Amino acid sequence: MGGLRELSAPFVVPGPAGVAIRTRLRVSSADALVLTEVGLFLGSLASRDLGARSGRRQAGESDSRAARKRALTGASSARWAGSVTRATDDQWALARRGQADELVWLRREIARIEARLARPLAAKADHRAGLVRGLSSSSEWHAKSRRLGALRDRLAALETDWAAGRVRVVRGGKRLARSSHRLGEAGLSREAWRELWQAARMFLAADGETGKGWGNETIRVTDTGQLSIRLPAALAHLANAPHGRYAATATVAFTHRGEEWQDRILADRAVAYRIHHDPVRGRWYLTAAWKRTPAPAPPLRTALAQGVLAVDMNDDHLAAWHLDRHGNPVGEPRRFPYDLSRDTQHRDAQIRHALTRLLHSARSSAVAAIAVEDLDFTASTSRERHGRGKRFRRLVSRFPTARLRARLVCMAAEQNLAVVAVDPAYTSRWGAQHWQQPLMTSTRKTTRHDAAAVAIGRRALGHPIRRRTAPPPHDRRDRAGHRTAQAGPETRWREGPRPRMPDHGHDPCRPDTERKRATSMPNTTRGMRLSAFPLSPQEVSHPPPPAEIPDCGTGPGTM
């Protein structure tokens, strides 16, 4: 066990700190024209502000947002300018975090390639000495040398941008921008691409304000569903309501969390709104979001008091198994499949459906917690780490780890279920080694993923994954059974066998006060206590001779 890494302790994942709900806006043609014009105008302001923010250095620019906001206020308004600049700063910060992650990734890849190039060809790895394996052939050495040069060039350009505080962001998406050069491969016409591009670059988002009417002064939705927008100063001629506002004919109705949303707007608490257009379906949507105080996470022992539903996340399904608080599998394994081979919306729908079925299964099992692996595939898709395993790298790259985890936490919080994250090390290997074959029956085929779910659940409960060793044969005195009992996580040496102790339980020469433990039941009637068997009237009247009682003696050498 010396080569195994140290395992981190399981923990309860904190609940979500925000809420977002969405509904469809059934706008008229006139409303659609106004919303499009306002969105494109504010989108142009957002693009200009993002360009100004990306060209500034990070240091010594504490008043840059105030100056940018003043530059946008004249053409729009103070609230629209505040929303635009805040969104720009958030986008810039996200891009900077992406730059930092890419810097770490490039340096790690360069170090790995340099270490492999420094080794002789076909050299074996020596993990104890910290030596990696060498390249297999001279052609691979040449290819890795070229890749090393390309990565060094990327690193030099990225370090220059990082020092200058410059980010490279495409409003509307880099993928959509590049598809304009290959419309035939994307299956789009020039007009269809232009409509998608305009819809992606529109800006119709306003932050909420506590204390203002209905929680938002810019995009206002009343309790009766009346939607109105404060128009920018340059588009004030489109107003059809007092104070430069445009009142849409569409009525807003939130079916999901509608009561919670209505309680907030009636109390004039902040609610942020975003309007966006889907040109493929020809629909408009309104998203409402607000912050809330997350519920305190329950203690780990309390969450696992009724057992746990352990889940093993895979590329095409979720493998789940219910474990009681002692770590024993209960019932049958359950699988919740999903398909991730299509577009993003289809993948999201598949994930939501699978997680909904998983939560229903947890509720029916009467557990209060779901155990999952704390997966992080950000550093696992490297070709230097997995070599020529292109299929595995593609599988890991498309696996929605973060999305599954985030959606599971949000959906479980609504069902009052805790999510327990455990260390993912060796769960598949040890689960298959210790639990796959014992759980397999003539009518049930236990897969490797089902066994991994059992390993995840046992680790969350604090039990060791490795099963107890086989009990002794039936011809031994202590018989079989004592090694199947589960010790608590605080018990020392719980993985080993029971300590060997001398057995004086059947010694008739020792008084009961000196015996270390209670007398065990013998295998035969020899030496059995007479009180264990009732005597007949003939045996009472004719007791056995006293010669059958052993003579223990009293001398010092008799014991």
Residue 556 has what pLDDT?
Answer: 43
- Residue 347 pLDDT greater than 50, yes or no: yes
Confidence of residue 344 (pLDDT cuts 50, 70, 90): confident
The CA distances from residue 211 to 196, 243, 245, 475, in Å, are 37, 19, 20, 81
Helix axes 138-164, 78-118, angle to 10 degrees: 150
Tokens of 529: 């206590």
CA distance 265 to 271: 7
Confidence of residue 533 (pLDDT cuts 50, 70, 90): very low
Residue 95 has what pLDDT?
Answer: 93
Residue 19 phi, psi (nearest 5): -135, 140
Residue 245, strand partner residues:
230, 241
* pLDDT-above-70 percentage for the chain: 77
CA distance 552 to 528: 17
Tokens of 559: 């014991």
Tell me the mean pLDDT in the region 232-240: 95
Tell me the mean pLDDT in the region 128-138: 87
Residue 165 has what pLDDT?
Answer: 84
CA distance 436 to 449: 9
How many distinct helices (H) and strands (E) make up the chain?
A: 16, 13
- Range with the lowest mean pLDDT among 241-245, 525-529, 553-557? 553-557
Tokens of 543: 């007791």
Tell me the mean pLDDT in the region 345-360: 90
Tens-digit pLDDT profile for residues 249-294 = 999 999 989 999 999 999 999 999 999 999 999 999 999 999 988 7
Residue 393 has what pLDDT?
Answer: 61
Strands 418-422 and 369-373 turn out to be parallel
- E runs forming strands in 179-244: 205-206, 219-221, 226-230
Decide: 215 and 269 in contact? Cβ < 8 Å.
Answer: yes
Sign of the alpha-carbon dihedral angle for 257, 260, 266, 269: negative
Q: What is the 3-state secondary structure (H, E, C) of 82-142?
A: HHHHHHHHHHHHHHHHHHHHHHHHHHHHHHHHHHHHHCCCCCCCECCCCECCCCCCHHHHH
Decide: 404 and 354 in contact? Cβ < 8 Å.
Answer: no
Tens-digit pLDDT profile for residues 390-420 = 665 666 666 667 778 888 988 999 899 999 9
Q: In the chain, what are the domain boundaries? A: 18-291, 298-461
- Residue 545 pLDDT greater than 80, yes or no: no
Tell me the mean pLDDT in the region 549-554: 44
CA distance 176 to 355: 30
Question: Across all residues in the chain, what is the average pLDDT?
Answer: 83
Tell me the mean pLDDT in the region 179-193: 92
Predicted TM-score (pTM) of this structure: 0.73
Tell me the mean pLDDT in the region 433-440: 91
- Report the greatest alpha carbon distance in the chain: 122
The CATH H-level superfamily of 298-461 is YqgF/RNase H-like domain (3.30.420.140)
Residue 505 has what pLDDT?
Answer: 46
Give the single-character DSSP code of 315.
Answer: S
Contacts of 500 (CB under 8 A, 6+ apart): none
> Order of strands across the sheet with 226-230?
219-221, 226-230, 245-251
CA distance 532 to 529: 6
Q: How many CB atoms lie within 10 A of CB 326?
A: 12
Decide: 285 and 276 in contact? Cβ < 8 Å.
Answer: yes
Query: Who wins on pLDDT, 299 or 392?
Result: 299
Q: How many CB atoms lie within 10 A of CB 137?
A: 10
> Order of strands across the sheet with 308-313?
11-12, 418-422, 369-373, 308-313, 317-323, 329-337
Strands 226-230 and 18-25 turn out to be unpaired
